[in-house]
Amino acid sequence: MSSITIRNLNKYYGALHVLRSLDLSIASGEGVVLLGANGCGKSTLMKCLNGLETPQSGSIVIDQNDVTTAKGLRLRSIRRDIGVVFQQFNLVENLTVFQNVLYGAMGQRRGGLLTVWNSLAPKDTREKAMHCLSRVRMADKASSRCRDLSGGQQQRVAIARMLMQSPKIILADEPVASLDPKAGIEVMDLLWEVVREHNMTVFCTLHQLDLAQNYADRIVGMKAGQIVFDSSNSSADKESLAQLYQGDTRVDGASSHENEYAAPNNRPAEIA
């Protein structure tokens, strides 16, 4: 199990101050959902956590390791413990389901993609890939090309690929935003089941308040680059959550009117 501690984190894109002295701690094994309007900085925070973006100041400590100062092999080693699930699945569409899942383990090694392509992965790795596919109920699609799957099926394959890594922490950035409500619930059910089975820590951004309330142990809310709401799920009150979507929500100062046009799903259905 792994914990995350973020202290005084600041991230700029040019002159745009996106993460503004942000503080947040997540305990080992906790399931935390992050809510916030479009453009408030959620994805930027996720990228900093995963080492894909480097903040200008502050620290992110995952267990004993500071992600913000780690480089090269050290950073790669930290990132091996972090599984990511994206809105757009990030599968290789022309590879089969099995090859994509294999890539979760082999892709991190030198020549990994080539190994997957030539099906030269070791027997135990291939067995683990089939086990992960069975876990997400996609073993019967192992030979299918990913491009031929529905969105919900692709996200299940992405979860299987993430399981291949045996991560300790899951970062999920809007994992159901591209799915219809039924497929979205199936994916959230599956994601939370595997997280609980393996005692993983999970930090997940969502736009749907009802989903947040169905799955999270704790809900945190972000507004204009800062954490402004932090509560256990059971005591999260709707009025405070509604405030996350009112006033100056974006870090770039665009109006909430522009915000609504930019993304119709800006507000969770229950609040809008």
Rounded Cα distance, 85 and 102, in Å = 16
Closer CB to ligand ATP, 31 or 39, in the complex: 39
- Minimum CB–partner distance for residue 93 and ligand ATP (Å): 22
Site residues (CB under 6 A) for ligand ATP?
13, 16, 18, 36, 38-44, 251-252, 263
Residues 6+ apart with CB under 8 A from 213: 219, 233, 236
Token pair for 195: 């997280």
Closer CB to ligand ATP, 85 or 149, in the complex: 85
- Minimum CB–partner distance for residue 179 and ligand ATP (Å): 16
Alpha-carbon torsion angle 161, 188, 212, 166, nearest 10: -30
- Cβ–Cβ contacts within 10 Å for residue 179, how many? 20
Closer CB to ligand ATP, 35 or 129, in the complex: 35
Rounded Cα distance, 11 and 45, in Å = 9
- Minimum CB–partner distance for residue 174 and ligand ATP (Å): 7
- Minimum CB–partner distance for residue 150 and ligand ATP (Å): 23
Closer CB to ligand ATP, 13 or 180, in the complex: 13
- Minimum CB–partner distance for residue 252 and ligand ATP (Å): 4
Closer CB to ligand ATP, 92 or 177, in the complex: 177
Question: Is residue 5 within a helix (H) or strand (E), and if so which, with residue range?
Answer: strand 4-13
- Minimum CB–partner distance for residue 17 and ligand ATP (Å): 10
The 3 state secondary structure assigned to 25-80 is EECCCCEEEEECCCCCCHHHHHHHHCCCCCCCEEEEEECCEECCCCCHHHHHHHHH
Closer CB to ligand ATP, 107 or 268, in the complex: 268
The 3 state secondary structure assigned to 70-123 is CCHHHHHHHHHCEEEEECCCCCCCCCEHHHHHHHHHHCCCCCHHHHHHCCCCCH
Closer CB to ligand ATP, 81 or 252, in the complex: 252
CA 262 to chain CA centroid, Å, is: 22
- Minimum CB–partner distance for residue 173 and ligand ATP (Å): 7
